[in-house]
């Protein structure tokens, strides 16, 4: 019999965390799954841990490849899936025991189920919430991804397998590679459901790819790659790839200019072009970009205002953090 869910777990040099990760899968209250654990050329003993779990539990499938990065590891695992649904778990993260059960229960009449996640640091756990419980159309999901209202990660979600059976382009990027896949999937008009449940435990550790500093060159390169994906799907997004590319570019560039170590690049031709597009779509962008962020972007056009931009960005972060804490307290 085929499993209901295929769990994809890419692993690279995370032996210290791997037992906890795989044990959290074993303890799932929903047991109709296969776990495809793919070792991306680890050299720290992770493979031996994977083999031990695979020998003890026939639901685990152990695969070893040469080191080619997490994107290629997931792509390789996707070629092996047999389940009706697909879930992703990183090798240094863990699940709550009822994670799969809650996601599968919520999957009726939808194609993607999304839940909250817990950001785990050495000193605290913080629940990061997505939208309040709701359903979204594919276009709403697509726009929420590009505007940053929905986390672009593959984890903390359950996907109908059919979205991965088509022609998805897997970009081996050092940052936000998950976002590129989710945008492609959103263009296929999935029915999406969000549930108010925090089942994914996302470990924050130094040295992980998600905590890497990104340069202006990478900011521009990522946006150009995204623009290419949007142009290729112009018909699926109402013939408006430039507008949606502008929305994405603003979000990424705003993250860049808020970094205190990042030099000013307001006179770069790519930024000047973004400014022209922003002016062209100003009214349509307003519902997606908060006033404070629009203000930062306009201020950043002048080099002399760089220090003020950083000060305002810091105040905005404090305000957003305060609002989140109040919302958590009310909930």
CA-wise closest residue to 170 among 243, 69, 281: 69
What CA–CA distance (Å, rounded) separates 279 from 147? 17
Total residue count of the chain as it appears in this document = 331
Return mean pLDDT, the chain: 91
In the block, residue with structure tokens 């037992």:
19
Determine the angle formed by the axes of helices 177-186 and 216-232, rounding to 10 degrees: 20
Q: Which residues contact 227 (CB under 8 A, 6 or more apart)?
A: 241, 245, 248, 249
Statement: residue 312 has pLDDT above 60: yes
Using DSSP's 3-state secondary structure scheme, residue 29 falls into coil
Q: Where are the beta strands (DSSP E) in 239-309?
A: none
pLDDT in tens, 39-97: 999 999 999 999 999 999 999 999 999 999 999 999 999 999 999 999 999 999 999 99
Indicate if the pLDDT at residue 331 is higher than 80: no
pLDDT of residue 122: 82
* 121-144 mean pLDDT: 91
In tens, the pLDDT along 83-132 reads 999 999 999 999 999 999 999 999 999 999 999 999 998 888 889 988 88
Backbone angles phi, psi at 43, to 5 degrees: -125, 15
Pairing between β-strand 112-120 and β-strand 60-65 as defined by DSSP bridges:
unpaired
Question: In 69-140, where do the E strands start and end?
Answer: 85-88, 94-95, 112-120, 125-128, 134-136
**Mean pLDDT calculated for residue range 156-179:** 91
The residue assigned the tokens 């305060």 is 322
> What does the DSSP 8-state code read for residue 115?
E
Lowest mean pLDDT among 27-41, 70-84, 291-305: 291-305
Higher pLDDT, 124 or 201: 201
pLDDT of residue 258: 87
Q: Within 10 Å of residue 238's Cβ, how many Cβ atoms? A: 10
Q: What is the dihedral of CA 147, 251, 181, 73, to 10 degrees?
A: -140
- What is the distance in angstroms between the CA of the first residue and the CA of the last residue of the chain? 42
Residue-wise burial string across 146-169, b where 16 or more C-beta atoms lie within 10 A, e elsewhere: bbbebbbbbbbbbbbbebbeeeee
């Amino acid at each position: 019999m085929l499993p209901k869910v295929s769990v994809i777990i890419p692993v690279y040099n995370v032996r210290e965390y791997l037992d906890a990760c795989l044990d959290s899968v074993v303890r799932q209250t929903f047991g109709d799954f296969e776990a495809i654990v793919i070792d991306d050329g680890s050299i720290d003993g992770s493979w031996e841990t994977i083999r031990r779990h695979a020998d003890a539990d026939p639901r685990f499938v152990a695969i070893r490849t040469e080191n080619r990065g997490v994107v290629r590891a997931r792509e390789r695992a996707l070629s092996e899936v047999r389940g009706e649904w697909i879930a992703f778990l990183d090798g240094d993260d863990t699940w709550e025991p009822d994670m799969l059960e809650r996601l599968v229960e919520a999957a009726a009449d939808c194609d993607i189920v999304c839940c909250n996640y817990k950001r785990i640091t050495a000193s605290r756990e913080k629940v990061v919430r997505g939208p309040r419980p709701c359903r979204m159309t594919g276009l709403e999901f697509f726009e929420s991804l590009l505007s940053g209202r929905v986390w672009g990660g593959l984890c903390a979600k359950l996907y109908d397998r059919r979205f991965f059976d088509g022609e998805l382009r897997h970009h081996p990027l050092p940052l936000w590679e998950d976002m590129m896949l989710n945008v492609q999937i959103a263009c296929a008009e999935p029915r999406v459901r969000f549930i108010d449940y925090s089942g994914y435990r996302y470990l924050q550790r130094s040295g992980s790819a998600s905590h890497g500093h990104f340069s202006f060159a990478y900011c521009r390169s990522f946006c150009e790659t995204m623009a290419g994906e949007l142009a290729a799907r112009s018909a699926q997004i109402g013939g408006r790839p430039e507008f949606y590319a502008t929305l994405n570019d603003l979000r990424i560039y705003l993250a860049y200019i808020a970094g205190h170590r990042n030099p000013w690049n307001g006179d770069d031709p790519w930024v000047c072009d973004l400014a022209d597009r922003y002016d062209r779509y100003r009214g349509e962008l307003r519902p997606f970009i908060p006033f404070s962020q629009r203000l930062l972007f306009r201020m950043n056009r002048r080099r002399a205002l760089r220090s003020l931009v950083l000060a305002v960005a810091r105040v905005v972060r404090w305000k957003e953090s305060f609002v989140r804490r109040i919302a958590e307290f009310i909930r």
